[in-house]
Amino acid sequence: HAAKPRYTIGFSQCTNGDAWRQAMLAGMKKELSFYPEVNFRIKDAKYSSALQEQQIKEFLREGIDLLIVSANESEPVTPIVEEAYNRGIPVVILDRRTTSKLYTAYVGGNNVEVGQTAGNYVAGLLGQRGQVLEVLGAPGSSPATDRHQGFVQALAAYPQLQLVAQVNSNWERPSVLERLPAVLRAHPEVDLIFAHNDRIALGAYQVCKQLKRANRIKIIGVDGMPGPHGGIQLVQDGILKATLLYPPGGEEAIRMAMRILRKQPYDKENILGTMVIDSTNVQTMKLQTEKLTSQQQDIQRQQQLLRRQRATFASQQTVLYVLAAA
């Protein structure tokens, strides 16, 4: 039978340093195990747009058949992604967008919708009145821009609900511990904090605690990751009132890449849904995600077994050839 064509997929990741990105990568690897003919390469830009640009250049020099990219910041990463696309390399944007229409497909959440859903949920939680503070993701990254836009849009429908302050973060907790205290002190009447992910939501909680305001201020986050430090646990522990599920989409990105490489039909926009996780459904979510995790571990063990059996088979074959030749 004809050998399957070999493909090299380059994945330019904005950062690989948190559980959400690790889950994304784990999902990719799980899906990639069905395509042993694929050579998968990842470069981690460690939150640097300059490094990301350089790494995509390296990919182009080394030769890739398809680029998957999560853009650290939209503007600075756009030209090099456009260059890849213009050279005829299919581009799958995953989660963080560029500013350009020049890409083959998008896979990820709709962050305007995430912000809107958060805004409407907040209105319900506060009885449509009160003071809200927003802790944003890194400026210039598309999920931060879009979550903010959706949030403001939704709040606009509730005249008694005021967005009184905004704090930028770099998506990580230390930036919140540093910047939030002064802003909170300047706004003694804040009722709720919407944080753009669960890591910075936890930072916001720690600041509220420090300032003895954790009882009054409700906090909601984004991501809804399973695991001991994930958003689901934070909701279960009552640290967050709610989190908005934001799926990492690793499996979906690889599936999309393979459709494109194999010239099968696909959609340009592939939106992964969001939902509110709060006290009403957190227990179900927890049980479901735990079950999924254990099933994924089973799959991994099966694959290891398969690899070992293949290796044994290969060495037995070698013995047979040697015997036959003798």
Given the rule CB under 6 A, which residues bind ligand FRU?
15, 18, 20-21, 95-96, 143, 171, 197, 222-223, 246
Residue with tokens 């695991």: 227
**Entry field: residues in the chain:** 326
Nearer to ligand FRU, 10 or 247 (CB): 247
Residue 7 has a CB neighbour count (10 Å cut-off) of 17
| Runs of H (alpha helix) within 187-230 | 198-210
Q: How far is the CB of 16 from ligand FRU (least distance, A)?
A: 8
Nearer to ligand FRU, 90 or 115 (CB): 115
Nearer to ligand FRU, 93 or 258 (CB): 93
Cα 24 to chain centroid distance, Å, stands at 7
Q: How far is the CB of 175 from ligand FRU (least distance, A)?
A: 12
Q: How far apart are CA 142 and CA 145, in angstroms?
A: 5
State which residue has the least CB distance to ligand FRU. 197
Q: How far apart are CA 235 and CA 20, in angstroms?
A: 17
CB 59 within 8 A of CB 5: no
Q: How far apart are CA 110 and CA 274, in angstroms?
A: 8
Q: How far is the CB of 216 from ligand FRU (least distance, A)?
A: 26
Q: How far is the CB of 52 from ligand FRU (least distance, A)?
A: 13
Residue 318 has a CB neighbour count (10 Å cut-off) of 10
Nearer to ligand FRU, 21 or 255 (CB): 21
Nearer to ligand FRU, 31 or 95 (CB): 95
Q: How far apart are CA 98 and CA 141, in angstroms?
A: 9
How would you class 93 by CB atoms within 10 Å of its CB: exposed for 0-12, middle for 13-18, buried for 19 or more?
buried
Q: How far is the CB of 254 from ligand FRU (least distance, A)?
A: 18
Q: How far is the CB of 95 from ligand FRU (least distance, A)?
A: 5
Nearer to ligand FRU, 95 or 252 (CB): 95
Nearer to ligand FRU, 24 or 66 (CB): 24
Element (H, E) at 16: none
Q: How far apart are CA 312 and CA 306, in angstroms?
A: 10
Q: How far is the CB of 161 from ligand FRU (least distance, A)?
A: 24
Q: What are phi and psi of 230, to 5 degrees?
A: -80, 170
Nearer to ligand FRU, 120 or 145 (CB): 145
Residue with tokens 């944003």: 136
Q: How far apart are CA 188 and CA 183, in angstroms?
A: 9
